[in-house]
Amino acid sequence: MADDDNPGLALPVLNTAVLSSTEHLAIDPDIDDDDNDSALGGSINDNQPSSASIASTIFNYRKLHGRTFHNFQTGDLQYWGPNDEEMSEGMDYFHHALQMALDDKLFLAPLDNPQRVLDVGAGTGMWTIDFADSFPSASVTGIDLSPMQPSWIPPNCKFIIDDLSQPWAFPDNYFDFIHIRYMMGCFRDWTRLYKECFRCLKPGGWLQHGEPGPGLRSDDGTLPEIWNEWTAHCMRASEMLGQPFDIPADARWPQWLEDGGFPVAGIRKKTFHMPVGMWPAEKKWKTIGALHGLAVDVGLEGFVLYTHTRVLGWEYSEVQAFLAKVRAALRSRRNHTYVVWTFAWVQKPLVE
């Protein structure tokens, strides 16, 4: 897989607009170093799914320390994220932050009038709905384990509750575009998933997959050690589950795609930095950092509750004590941190 920012890995570049790299975000020199003020910068103002085939047991959520998790039969797959209102709020903040970071682009692949589109792991359905609104002639399907999506949706949009780690029910050569985003730790066998993507894409159709690296980074040595501890815990839980969390940094990623049927020489990739907090100097990235910071803050317990108690074996009180330290580091204006995001897109060959 070639990296647009690494000249040592040569790959033909598509004649299409891609996101500019943000390797070195400038720090606002006037940022307040008072740790009593949140680096997130205050507030940002801004049911039922449509599928009628959901069994009633879907809504009998599993509960863990006051949080709810999906109750869909997934075999040996363990999904770690809650499906409650608090988690949904964080996911929506995150969607808005990522859309701003992508200059309001919903995709980077060079699509040409897509008519059938699949969103893998639709979550609250915001990307699915936005795409349906932007392409009214397209039929857009979002799939997730949990019914977290709104009931008021565009007429060309629908949501299905299903487990895509199992064989898909869609026919061969069906979709023009398959979109995957933020599915870290959600699948054991990425090759099997990519094989289903390849089978269900039309010749000439596109697959796009975007993921963050785990944990946070900084360019000026302000990354607190507690964040490194959190990353280490997540990676250990990932290994115990057998469900990769660090997909962009995993050397097997291009191999999974190739084993799934996609031509590895055709993979295009873009990497950029997404700040956490209002420390960037540029107004756009300051707003993105505020939204992203809110997303992380609101979703913080949901990110670790299942993995740390059910996988790593922590007590609930230990989790809360650890989260207090993580949240303090998150809210400090002295920490100029960011998450590395990577998007990859590849086309199914026109002639197989």
8: pLDDT strictly greater than 50: no
Q: What is the pLDDT of residues 300-322, one digit of tens each?
A: 888 888 888 888 888 989 988 99
Query: Which residues partner with 139 through β-bridges?
Result: 116
54-89: pLDDT as tens digits:
344 445 556 556 666 665 345 555 666 666 676 777
* Mean pLDDT calculated for residue range 45-56: 38
For residue 191, give both structure tokens.
């090759």
pLDDT of residue 36 exceeding 80, the answer is no
Q: Between the ranges 160-174, 189-203, 204-218, where is the mean pLDDT highest?
A: 189-203
- Which are the contacts of 187, defined by CB distance < 8 A and separation ≥ 6? 77, 165, 193, 243, 244
Q: What is the pLDDT of residue 152?
A: 86
Q: 3-state DSSP call for residue 241?
A: helix
Contacts of 201 (CB under 8 A, 6+ apart): 173, 174, 175, 176, 178, 207, 348
pLDDT at 46: 37
Taking residues 248-273, report their average pLDDT.
90
User: pLDDT value at position 195?
Assistant: 97
* Mean pLDDT for the stretch of residues 275-290: 93
Q: Is the pLDDT assigned to residue 282 strictly greater than 90?
A: yes
pLDDT tens digit sequence for 207-230? 999 998 877 899 999 999 998 998
Q: What is the pLDDT of residue 45?
A: 37
pLDDT number for residue 252: 85
- The owner of tokens 């009214």 is 136
d(CA 250, CA 158): 33
Lowest mean pLDDT among 55-64, 220-229, 267-276, 343-352: 55-64
- CB 164 within 8 Å of CB 193: yes
Give residue-wise pLDDT tens across range 90-136. Answer: 788 888 999 999 999 999 999 999 999 999 988 888 899 999 999 99
Lowest average pLDDT, out of 221-230, 245-254, 273-282, goes to 245-254
Is the separation of the CB atoms in 158 and 141 below 8 Å?
Answer: yes
Instruction: Please report which confidence band the pLDDT of residue 9 belongs to, taking 50, 70 and 90 as the band edges.
Output: very low
Provide the pLDDT for residue 178: 98
Instruction: Please spell the DSSP secondary structure of 53-108, one letter per residue.
Output: T--GGGGS-EEETTEEE-----TT-------SHHHHHHHHHHHHHHHHHTTT-S--
Calculate mean pLDDT across residues 242-270. 88
What was the pLDDT predicted at 42? Answer: 43
